[in-house]
Amino acid sequence: MKVRAEKPEDLEAIRRVNVAAFEREGEADLVDRLRGAASTFSFVAVESEQIVGHIFFSPVSIVQSGRSANVGECAGDLRVLGLAPVAVSPEYQRQGIGSLLIQFGLKECTRLGFKAVVVLGSPAYYPRFGFIPAKEKGLRCEYPVPDEAFMVLELESGALEGCAGLVKYRSEFNQLE
């Protein structure tokens, strides 16, 4: 199994993986809409020259909450990404490919200077990678989701110190049904 950055010739295979994994076109359409935006990253898992998994990261912003004595400003150089989606072809699921993609992606995000990653996902799955409920860091999701499903991982220890607010995804996410 090899994980690498997506290439232009991978686009159709990536779309197929997302449609198969989610059993709908919404996530595949989202990736297509996000592709090419600044600071987005797309990685694939390849087995026997076939793309069997995909992960995508896109920038998010943190809108400051009302100021209080214990809430400071987010650092000016704070660069945060959202992890979404991660998809594995159904016939390759439960073989560690999703974990491999997430671990590779997080290492690349760190290497590229990002300070944190948020994810909206299974509270039973993402903590194994170090994600914690985002509300523990003073962050909340712009979408109405359970607190335990919206998580964050600091890629640099203390990066979110004193930073609190509403996490907003790129507008392309608003078209996802």
| Residues across the chain | 177
At residue 174, the pLDDT reads 86
Residue 13: pLDDT over 70:
yes
- Report yes or no: 90 and 21 within 8 Å, Cβ to Cβ: yes
At residue 68, the pLDDT reads 47
Q: Mean pLDDT of all residues in the chain? A: 92
Cis omega (within 30 of 0) for bond into 144? no
At residue 91, the pLDDT reads 96
Query: May I ask the CATH architecture of the domain 2-172?
Result: 3-Layer(aba) Sandwich (3.40)
Which among 61, 142, 133, 48 has a CA at the least distance from the CA of 92?
Answer: 48
At residue 70, the pLDDT reads 46
At residue 78, the pLDDT reads 84
- Report yes or no: 110 and 155 within 8 Å, Cβ to Cβ: yes
- For the ranges 30-39, 67-76, 110-119, 163-172, the lowest mean pLDDT is seen at 67-76
- Report yes or no: 101 and 54 within 8 Å, Cβ to Cβ: yes
Domain ranges within the chain, ordered by starting residue:
2-172
Residue 120 φ then ψ, to 5°: -110, 105
At residue 38, the pLDDT reads 87
Dump pLDDT digits (tens) for 28-84.
999 999 998 889 999 999 999 999 999 999 999 998 755 544 445 677 668 999 999
